[in-house]
Amino acid sequence: MRPGNPEALQQPYDPSRVEARWYAFWEERGVFRPESSRPAGGGPSAQPFVIAIPPPNVTGSLTMGHLLGDSIRDLIVRWQRMEGRETLYIPGMDHAGIATQNVVEKKLREEGRSREQLGREDFVREVWAWKEQYGGLILRQLRRLGVTPDWSRERFTLDPDYSKAVAEAFRRLYERGLIYRGHYIVNWCPRCRTALSDEEVDKVETQGSLWFVRYPLKEGNASITVATTRPETMLGDVAVAVSPKDKRYAKLVGRTAVLPLVRREIPIIADDMVDPKFGTGAVKVTPAHDVNDFQTGKRHGLPELIVIDEDGRMNDKAGDFRGLDRFEARRRIVEALRDAGYLEKVEPHTYAIGHCSRCETIIEPYLSLQWFVKMAPLAAPAIEAARRGKVKFFPSRWKKVYLYWMENIRDWCISRQLWWGHRIPVWYRGDEIAVGLEAPAGDGWRQDEDVLDTWASSWLWPFATLGWPEQTPNLERFYPNSLMVTGSDIIFFWVARMIMAGFEFTGQAPFPHVYFTSIVRDGQGRKMSKSLGNSPDPLEMMERYGADAVRFTMIYLTPTGQDLLFDEKRLETGRFFANKIWNAAKLVQMRLGDEDLSRVKESALTLSLADRWILSRFANAVKDVTRNLKTYRFNEAANALYHFAWNEYCDWYLELAKPRWSDDIPQDDARAREDRRAARWVAWKVLDGILRLLHPFMPFVTEELWQALPHDGECLAQAAWPKAKKAWFDAEAERQIAFLQELVVAVRNLRAENNLPPGKRVPITVRGRDEQLALIAELDQPLRALARIELLTLARDGSRPAVAASAVVQGAEVFLPLEGLKDLDEERTRLTTQAAKLLDDLEGVRRKLRNQDFLTKARPEIVERERQRLAQLEETLEKLRRAQESLRVSAE
RNA sequence: GGGCGGGUAGCUCAGCUGGCAGAGCACCUGGAUCACAACCAGGGGGUCACAGGUUCAAGUCCUGUUCCGCCCACCA
């Protein structure tokens, strides 16, 4: 097929022109639909490749973190598609309960309205309106990045179908007795005014105080002193506890203390939870405001006295302190205790305080009626799966983190006191309870007021997006998914729970592999965040450097299993690389001639040494890139491709090819014309291969170039992934070209070290073995160009220039005459330094080879290699010395 | 308190199965050579955190120390 794009390749490369044009082209062709990559006649053995996007928050916009994750996912998706697998990439969004409600409430506040004013129904309507108008920005941004999910399958976690799945999951768990409702201490955010799961609480080490407060006994003058970090909760104290083993307090157990300030009488009890070594060994017990105390209270049948309300203010039970914010109350209470002589002392104390992961407000342990999922039964198969390798983590160390969490799992509080989300599918009528999405028949049913934790819907993502609970053809074909790619920061929130849900609801793991991406940090290693303002705007990055450059660079930079320290300047790597490929393609296009190379058979060509070399290197690159993709070493894959394309194909092959495809080749020189044809074909073939390999990294520029060159097929995005042809591997050609490369480098080096301008052509004499001289003769022309040689003399023996700089390459001597130069000191110094280094190396090798243990114990090929190295070093040194000698002589 | 990861060139990091320490950026020198100055050519730069050990051989494996980062954790 002839070039599809007649437009000349512009220069320099301008990503914005190219990137605007291809997305619609792919979309129109249906490239993103799984059917488009379904292999013809693909039987049941042809396993599809399925991956789901971690649904971004509907409120979200693209961050640098997304840029990495989405680049990696699309890299894999495009690669798998080119491998010929039926490929499905499922897009969608998360309704993100708290986050979204917060955003809309904030907007209302700015408008002087509130959700309470609106009421539940209108508020929810308001959020939907917001979603339609502003939501999903992130998905539109993903198009700019060039990612290719099947948009026709986009899902939202609040879609009717999805909501059905969520309610059904709840119902099944309820029927199995894995869901219960009860009064327990939960993590409460007084600002969001909702319960949270343990995972939604960030613990922050904080320098606080330990207050020692004296509680007088009811009878006598004695007292007992407790230590507390939260004096304000003393208003809710219902007991003082000591360790049953603690002799100091043994005779106080059973007696009654009087709570200071409020003068309430409370018992002194013994309980094992008390550590006699901490504080005074006596603990105030506040069942309504502390998890431990709650359990102690249950054990001893103590009342639960709530003194802080859901806004974090002291309530009516708090007497004089009622209405105060909890921290203000703390100050006042400490003050009052001090004034009344109850405060014994204050010690500095460091401890971890929980903060709301959404709004940073300090969490209040709060006694309330909530819904919970019993997790241990769900964890069991998920633990088993990880242990047996049914689910594998990359990097593997996450397995340990996952298992530790799973094995110590606690029940999950899933009710949220919000309005935006899946309303809990439970209905009440008097003492009756019914579970289901719809109200049961009959009057008087009232639905639970709360909604579900967002993660209690997204944990169904891998199968609810495919139609579960219905046994749809999609579910049948595309479940389980093939891979999950996400950040390790949501391993517990989401990954672990998806695995549990997979087993619980579908009887199998939702995916066999989980790849965790790097966390993107700024140059100083700080996590990128909106509040710090240290995250560059991804859209701006794409405008400035191109989406291709951003994608490539992020992948090129991401270390396996390590954080990624991002610096905008690094994006130049990708931009320059795109430009390099662009220019290489321009050169090749200019030199291809009129023949349609995509129809030329390799077998009809006579390949030169350089051709065989680059095809061999290309086969190696294909192997390398593919292997690194398979093992999730994406940076290595990018690296291998970068270096092959730039340092081998561009730096050497194209240079070697240039003289061969000159326009000046006479009509009647059949051999030269044949050779030109081979060079054209190989240059095109390898470039075509590079574009294919590079396409998943840089989809836009590669599609543009591929279309502009001879190509087979209509669309690079649907072209086949290159194969490393066995016949192309050619160790001999690689060895031979390596020699010539060393030779060229040696000449350039001699020139530079002796201050000869790089442009000046110099006469060079090479003395070496027949084979070496033959090789040089074979590539005579390109060598002259590469090393800027004007006259290349090959000498098997004796003859050498009288005054010359010299180097030794694999035993061959290279001479560069220095007759015209007065000062030979530079060359002398150079030779001396080189000889000294050589001598060092030589000594090392000799020491090794003198070592009997090395000779007997090292693998034979290692010993052999050292022997050869010794011989070569000796030969080189010898020749270097002769060169030194000749310079000395000539100086006299 | 428990666990995990890291410390390699000025900076950011590769280094996979133990076998001649690497890349990009930065720096220095030279260069308008007809794909590319977003380029090309050449160069300097290392106590592989520290201390032991295993091994013929250690950046790589083991032990300890130290510094940095992260995660988990109901001592009030």
Task: Give residue-wise pLDDT tens across range A771-798.
Answer: 999 999 988 888 888 888 888 888 876 6
Cα–Cα dist A290/A184, whole Å: 10
> Which nucleotide is at minimal CA–C1' distance from A9?
B35
Whether the link from the prior residue into A469 is cis, omega within 30° of 0, is yes
- Phi, psi torsion values for A113, nearest 5 degrees: -115, 175
Contact A285, A238 (CB under 8 A): yes
**What secondary structure letter does DSSP report for A726?**
G
Contact A194, A98 (CB under 8 A): yes
List pLDDT tens digits, range A62-96.
888 889 999 999 999 999 999 999 999 999 999 99
Cα–Cα dist A573/A559, whole Å: 16
What band does A331 get if pLDDT is binned at 50, 70 and 90?
very high
Residue type, A343: L
| CA→C1' distance for A756 and B40 (Å) | 16
Q: Which residues, in sequence order, are CB contacts of A151 under 8 Å at separation 6+?
A: A27, A32, A91
Q: Which residues, in sequence order, are CB contacts of A308 under 8 Å at separation 6+?
A: A232, A233, A236, A289, A314, A315, A318, A326, A364, A366
Sign, CA dihedral A560-A563-A567-A571, equals positive
Cα–Cα dist A462/A189, whole Å: 30
What band does A753 get if pLDDT is binned at 50, 70 and 90?
confident
pLDDT at A5 over 50: no
List pLDDT tens digits, range A488-505.
889 999 999 999 999 999
Identify any residues that bridge with A514 across adjacent strands, giving them in sequence order.
A393, A484
Residue A4, pLDDT score: 41
Residue A534, pLDDT score: 73
| CA→C1' distance for A865 and B57 (Å) | 14
For residue A89, what is the enclosing H or E element? strand A87-90
> Which nucleotide is at minimal CA–C1' distance from A567?
B12
> Which nucleotide is at minimal CA–C1' distance from A573?
B24
> Which nucleotide is at minimal CA–C1' distance from A227?
B76
Cα–Cα dist A242/A285, whole Å: 10
Reduced to 3 states (helix: H, G, I; strand: E, B; else coil), residue A450 is coil
A515 vs A836 pLDDT, higher one: A515
Cα–Cα dist A325/A315, whole Å: 10
Which residue is nearest to the C1' sugar atom of B72, using CA? A405
Contact A487, A56 (CB under 8 A): no
Strand order in the sheet with A265-270: A256-258, A265-270, A239-242, A282-285
- E-only strand ranges, A425-563: 426-429, 432-435, 446-447, 451-452, 484-487, 513-517, 520-521
| CA→C1' distance for A211 and B65 (Å) | 37
Using alpha carbons, select from A437, A451, A432, A309 the residue that is nearest to residue A368.
Answer: A309
Cα–Cα dist A561/A516, whole Å: 8
Cα–Cα dist A690/A717, whole Å: 13
| CA→C1' distance for A285 and B40 (Å) | 77
Q: Averaged over A199-212, what is the pLDDT?
A: 90
Cα–Cα dist A104/A108, whole Å: 6
Q: Provide the CA A662 distance to its chain's centre, in angstroms.
A: 46
For residue A806, what is the enclosing H or E element? strand A804-809
| CA→C1' distance for A686 and B61 (Å) | 41
Residue A2, pLDDT score: 39
- DSSP-assigned states of every residue in A338-401: HHTT-EEEEEEEEEEEEEETTT-PBPEEEEEEEEEE--HHHHHHHHHHHHTTSSEEESTTHHHH
Which residue is nearest to the C1' sugar atom of B36, using CA? A583
Q: Provide the CA A142 distance to its chain's centre, in angstroms.
A: 16
Q: Alpha-carbon dihedral of residues A576, A582, A586, A587, nearest 10 degrees?
A: 50
Q: Alpha-carbon dihedral of residues A354, A356, A361, A363, nearest 10 degrees?
A: -50
Residue A136, pLDDT score: 83
Q: Averaged over A332-337, what is the pLDDT?
A: 93
Residue type, A480: P
pLDDT, averaged across chain A = 89
**What secondary structure letter does DSSP report for A434?**
E
Using alpha carbons, select from A73, A55, A51 the residue that is nearest to residue A478.
Answer: A51
What band does A41 get if pLDDT is binned at 50, 70 and 90?
low
Cα–Cα dist A101/A98, whole Å: 5
> Which nucleotide is at minimal CA–C1' distance from A278?
B75
Enumerate the nucleotides of strand B whose atoms come under 7 Å of any protein CB: 3-6, 12-16, 19-20, 24-25, 29-33, 35-43, 55-57, 69, 71-76
Q: In 10 A of CB A133, how many CB atoms? A: 8
- Phi, psi torsion values for A2, nearest 5 degrees: -80, 160
Which residue is nearest to the C1' sugar atom of B15, using CA? A636
| CA→C1' distance for A701 and B4 (Å) | 40
| CA→C1' distance for A678 and B60 (Å) | 44
Q: Note the ipTM here.
A: 0.94
List pLDDT tens digits, range A133-189.
888 888 889 999 999 999 999 999 999 999 999 999 999 999 999 999 999 999 999
| CA→C1' distance for A398 and B70 (Å) | 13
| CA→C1' distance for A680 and B41 (Å) | 26
The structure tokens listed for A479 are 């479940």
> Which nucleotide is at minimal CA–C1' distance from A280?
B76
Residue type, A577: F
Cα–Cα dist A539/A16, whole Å: 12
Q: Averaged over A564-571, what is the pLDDT?
A: 85
Q: How far is CA A144 from CA A49, A77, A539, A633, in A?
A: 23, 16, 8, 25
- Count how many residues are written for chain A: 892
Reduced to 3 states (helix: H, G, I; strand: E, B; else coil), residue A846 is helix
List pLDDT tens digits, range A251-310.
988 999 999 988 999 999 999 888 888 889 999 999 999 999 999 999 999 999 999 999
> Which nucleotide is at minimal CA–C1' distance from A756?
B30
Which residue is nearest to the C1' sugar atom of B26, using CA? A569
> Which nucleotide is at minimal CA–C1' distance from A588?
B35
Residue A42, pLDDT score: 57
- DSSP-assigned states of every residue in A584-613: HHHHHHHHS-SS-GGG--GGGS---HHHHH
Which residue is nearest to the C1' sugar atom of B76, using CA? A228
Residue A1, pLDDT score: 36
Tell me the percentage of chain A whose pLDDT exceeds 90: 59
What band does A820 get if pLDDT is binned at 50, 70 and 90?
low
Contact A528, A65 (CB under 8 A): yes
A365 vs A521 pLDDT, higher one: A365
Strand order in the sheet with A201-216: A223-228, A201-216, A343-356
Cα–Cα dist A679/A691, whole Å: 18
pLDDT at A8 over 60: no
Cα–Cα dist A147/A72, whole Å: 10
Q: Averaged over A835-856, what is the pLDDT?
A: 87
pLDDT at A681 over 50: yes
Q: Averaged over A200-209, what is the pLDDT?
A: 88
The structure tokens listed for A543 are 């405008």
Cα–Cα dist A453/A375, whole Å: 15
pLDDT at A457 over 60: yes
| CA→C1' distance for A840 and B59 (Å) | 21
| CA→C1' distance for A627 and B7 (Å) | 29
Contact A592, A680 (CB under 8 A): yes
Biggest distance spanned by C-alpha atoms of chain A: 124
- Phi, psi torsion values for A390, nearest 5 degrees: -70, -30
Residue A536, pLDDT score: 85
Q: Provide the CA A775 distance to its chain's centre, in angstroms.
A: 47
pLDDT at A3 over 50: no
Cα–Cα dist A877/A836, whole Å: 9
> Which nucleotide is at minimal CA–C1' distance from A757?
B30
Reduced to 3 states (helix: H, G, I; strand: E, B; else coil), residue A687 is helix
- DSSP-assigned states of every residue in A159-191: SHHHHHHHHHHHHHHHHTT-EEEEEEEEEEETT
| CA→C1' distance for A562 and B6 (Å) | 9
> Which nucleotide is at minimal CA–C1' distance from A549?
B38
